[in-house]
Structure 1
Amino acid sequence: MIKQRYNLTGDMMRWWTSVAKVVMVSVMLAWGFACSKSDDGVVASAHLAQDVVQGTSTNCAVVLTAQQGTKYAVTIADGNEWCQLSGGRSELSGVMAEGENTRTLFLYFEKNPSGSPRIAHIVVSFDGGVRVELQLTQESYDANIAFVRAWPELPVCDVRDGYIYRSYSAAVGAKSNVRNYTICYNPEYLAAEWVAYPMHALYTNGSANRDNSDFKKEPTIAANQQMNGYYKSPYNRGHQIAAADRKCSQEMMDQTFYVTNMTPQLGRFNSTLWGSLEGKVRSEQCLDTLYVVTGAYFKGKHDSSIATATTDSSGKRCPTPSHYYKLLLKTVKGNSGKRIAEITDASALQAIAIFIPHHDSGSSTVLKDEWFMSVSDLEKIVGFEFFPMLNDAVEDEVKSEYNRSLWF
């Protein structure tokens, strides 16, 4: 009886083994069929160029991969009230052309100022039963914000009548598209109200020469909204981001010579006090990066040595700043290796602002203590919000305090 049970068990085991083999073969065949792997090794698949897009984005690529001759269908299963394929359609089908293994389609949508992210579900089907489900999330954005980047130096770029925001980048060595600086340009003043930029040895080391740079119009802003030629003496074309801050490449230095980076600056302020301050700021750069905002303020009381306006070479009126300012932010250690937004200990950061009357400083390079203040105090004067990338846990403390002894 025991022997008989053993034989029965053995027969059943052999039967289950046979069934398992059939199932495994079936699964393998099904898997191969579902993936639609062709003789040339192309597997049918689909993906989004980005699963999450910014609230200001208006399109996203859908990349299809399949062997030539494969039929496909793309359907927006959910979210088609805000997200469409070309021609406003929610469905699109086609065939991979001869010699084509990859095809890119686009999803189109408007900016999303709703205050909430929105989600679309996309289904891509191929011959052979392959089905890929994709999810696209479009974040929301503040309609009052004109320009957004996750750069620690960037102030809040809110929508204001006439303001123009521009950001510049260039190749540096083997690195392409390295950010240079950002401006908040006010055509009313024919000048930028602020210029924001990172400072690091990457930028200041190099052989770029200002003698090889020429003053020129910014190419994307209307020429009639920019100054022409020179300012009438005794005013210089004063850089906001200095040419010496961008010795890393000639292209980067050339971008500092856009006239949109210039203000009418008294010669005996530009070449002495202001030039000295620029050098002191460079001395504060660190491995973690120093973040700088330089600005021109036009609404204060002018020193008696400064006219309220001058003219350019064409006779166009150019207001003169009553004050200039700089804001600096960096880590205390200088080599923490942490991103600014990640730091939740206020004592690990230091920030300061300096607000200087535009005046005839003669040969003096002395920085008066009364010109130094907290970031928060300067915000109240000039009306911009600085360093919004600071972590919420430390922002108020870092911006409301400053220690003059920690800086140049």
Structure 2
Amino acid sequence: MLSCDVIKARQQLIQHGVVVSDRSVLGVGSGSRSRGQPPAEPQRPRGGGGASRCPPQSPGTSGTESPGLRADGERVSPGASVAAMKYGFPSLANIKTRESYVTSYDPRTRTASWVIERLNPASLSGSSNRKYCDFREDDSVHLFHRSTNDDYRGSGFDRGHLAAAANHKWSQKAMDDTFYLSNVAPQNPHLNQNTWNNLEKVCRSLTIRYLNVYVCSGPLYLPRQEADGKLYVRYQVIGKNHVAVPTHFFKVLILEQADGRGVELRSYVLPNEPIDEKVPLDRFLVPIETIERASGLLFVPNIMKRTSSLQAVTDRPTTVPRIHQ
């Protein structure tokens, strides 16, 4: 029997014109909590975290629509996950809906493959505060395939948000949901607290100019040429659960222009390492095809189903580190 989360995800996909089978939405959404599992350890101090003062979330809960929601993304709660589905999903494996975002979880890496969220001025406004949030395990993911706070403790990596907490001030639960460990990945502390944080701020600032800003973020594991002249994909794993450390991160921005003037697309790839703060973010713009090839995801076909005008911003200096394809 399908769980409520799986049925809900399937219905939402169908409402958006995506033909799916029950199997395509099975996975993280259909997992059940393993009995007797201890609660997550308190988060270790790092930029912006704090002790949780909220009642704990029910294990495996996901975002649910408020009364009056429509599946076409209109008249929904600011930033609600159903609204983030407007331009489809880059893939259909292990879909999970939360209050403020939709994610596809990769049990092999113990991180998400991608996370989609919708930003607008309403979603950025509110009294929610991250000091009431705490990083915690995602009990809807099987015990064998989830990450824990212990995996990150002493690893030298931050728990880098994919859907940023500051993007969802409209609801304390929406912000709280961004602290599931299924929404983070091991990230270089300097990158997390500086360049990645600056890119998140840019995403929020674009809500002033655009009607809606759809943001899809995720990890990449890219090849590198080694001394023997061959290409290898090598990455570190941390903790007893072997959480994969991405070599790079991507962020795809789908920018809805007002008055139906079409969609603008910006796509970034950042290495998971310290970046000089003097380097402009535009230096990391890449063609969307680069991310599609490297990740195995597809963005453009789904976007073109919803708009007849798509402009991709790809201008960047030639000194961007090469991404092998």
Distance (Å, rounded) in 1 between the aligned partners of 2:173 and 2:22: 33
| Residue 246 of structure 1, aligned match among 168, 172, 179 | 168
Q: Which has the higher strand share?
A: 1
| Residue 167 of structure 1, aligned match among 97, 104, 124 | 97
| 1:49-88 paired onto structure 2 within 5 Å | none
Cα distance, 1:233 vs. partner?
A: 3.2
Cα distance, 1:183 vs. partner?
A: 0.8
Distance (Å, rounded) in 2 between the aligned partners of 1:204 and 1:297: 27
1:225 matched to 2:145: yes
Check the 8 A contact 2:157/2:189 in 1, yes or no: yes
Cα distance, 1:189 vs. partner?
A: 0.4
Hey, what does 2:310 align to over in structure 1?
A: 398
> What letter matches 2:249 in structure 1?
Y
> What letter matches 1:217 in structure 2?
E
What secondary structure is seen at the aligned counterpart in 1 of 2:127? coil
1:274 matched to 2:196: yes
Shift of the 240–302 alpha-carbon distance from structure 1 to 2, 3 Å rule, reads farther
Shift of the 368–282 alpha-carbon distance from structure 1 to 2, 3 Å rule, reads closer
1:371 matched to 2:301: no
Hey, what does 1:356 align to over in structure 2?
A: 270
> What letter matches 2:97 in structure 1?
S
Encode CA deviations 1:346-367: one digit per residue, 9 max, x unaligned: xx321111111111225x1633
Hey, what does 2:319 align to over in structure 1?
A: none
Shift of the 302–213 alpha-carbon distance from structure 1 to 2, 3 Å rule, reads farther
Distance (Å, rounded) in 1 between the aligned partners of 2:182 and 2:18: 31
Hey, what does 1:265 align to over in structure 2?
A: 187
TM-score, structure 1 length as denominator? 0.52
Distance (Å, rounded) in 2 between the aligned partners of 1:357 and 1:301: 12
Encode CA deviations 1:352-394: one digit per residue, 9 max, x unaligned: 11111111225x1633545212323321222101154434496
Hey, what does 1:326 align to over in structure 2?
A: 251
Question: What stretches of structure 1 of length at least 5 have no aligned partner?
Answer: 1-53, 58-111, 113-138, 170-179, 339-344
> What letter matches 1:361 in structure 2?
I
Check the 8 A contact 2:146/2:241 in 1, yes or no: no
The count of residues paired between Structure 1 and Structure 2 equals 238
| Residue 206 of structure 2, aligned match among 268, 284, 290 | 284
| 1:40-189 paired onto structure 2 within 5 Å | 141-143=19-21, 146-147=24-25, 151-158=85-92, 163-169=93-99, 180-189=100-109
Cα distance, 1:153 vs. partner?
A: 4.5
Hey, what does 1:72 align to over in structure 2?
A: none
What secondary structure is seen at the aligned counterpart in 1 of 2:224? coil
Hey, what does 2:120 align to over in structure 1?
A: 200
Check the 8 A contact 2:90/2:299 in 1, yes or no: yes
1:317 matched to 2:237: no
Hey, what does 2:216 align to over in structure 1?
A: 293
Encode CA deviations 1:56-104: one digit per residue, 9 max, x unaligned: 66xxxxxxxxxxxxxxxxxxxxxxxxxxxxxxxxxxxxxxxxxxxxxxx
Percent of paired sites with the same residue: 22
Deviant stretches of 4+, over 3 Å: 142-145, 299-303, 367-370, 391-395
Shift of the 227–140 alpha-carbon distance from structure 1 to 2, 3 Å rule, reads closer
Cα distance, 1:289 vs. partner?
A: 1.0
Shift of the 254–369 alpha-carbon distance from structure 1 to 2, 3 Å rule, reads closer
Check the 8 A contact 2:112/2:184 in 1, yes or no: yes
Check the 8 A contact 2:247/2:271 in 1, yes or no: yes
Hey, what does 1:62 align to over in structure 2?
A: none
Shift of the 225–140 alpha-carbon distance from structure 1 to 2, 3 Å rule, reads closer
> What letter matches 1:265 in structure 2?
Q
**Aligned CA-pair RMSD:** 3.2
Cα distance, 1:241 vs. partner?
A: 0.8
Shift of the 194–280 alpha-carbon distance from structure 1 to 2, 3 Å rule, reads same
Shift of the 302–244 alpha-carbon distance from structure 1 to 2, 3 Å rule, reads farther
What secondary structure is seen at the aligned counterpart in 1 of 2:310? helix
Shift of the 219–309 alpha-carbon distance from structure 1 to 2, 3 Å rule, reads same
Distance (Å, rounded) in 1 between the aligned partners of 2:313 and 2:125: 29
Question: What stretches of structure 2 of length at least 5 have no aligned partner?
Answer: 1-7, 26-70, 73-84, 227-233, 317-325
Distance (Å, rounded) in 1 between the aligned partners of 2:281 and 2:90: 29
> What letter matches 1:272 in structure 2?
N
1:382 matched to 2:295: yes
| 1:4-15 paired onto structure 2 within 5 Å | none
> What letter matches 1:228 in structure 2?
T
Encode CA deviations 1:268-310: one digit per residue, 9 max, x unaligned: 111111111111111011462111101111243399xxx8224
What secondary structure is seen at the aligned counterpart in 2 of 1:202? coil
